Amino acid sequence: MLKITGLDQLQRQLQEAQDALQEIGGELGTVSFDPYDPGSIEAAISAVNGMVDERLGAYASNPLIAPMIEGMKQQYREAILEKAAGARLEDEA
């Protein structure tokens, strides 16, 4: 007879993943920053990271969710940096 183990754990992880996805529905929050002030940009990135952690931190130990959390933080970081660079370029033009 073949015994499969770990299904309970997988089901729990999948349920947590579903719960986490529901947590990130809608608006995460808003941040503002001065595109010429590196400290302001970093503060905005830190604030967004905090928002992500606030919503999804309870699921950080879930191996299905942890990479998603880090990916979201990286995407928001890149978006803030791109917005800051775009604002500076627009002002120069």
Output the pLDDT for position 4. Answer: 64
Assign 6 to helix, strand or coil: coil
How deeply is 31 buried, as exposed, middle or buried, from its count of CB atoms within 10 A (0-12, 13-18, 19+)?
middle
Give pLDDT tens digits for 6-52.
678 888 888 888 888 887 777 888 999 999 999 999 999 999 999 99
Output the pLDDT for position 69. Answer: 92
pLDDT: is 45 or 5 the higher one? Answer: 45
* pTM to 2 decimal places: 0.81
Contact 36, 92 (CB under 8 A): no
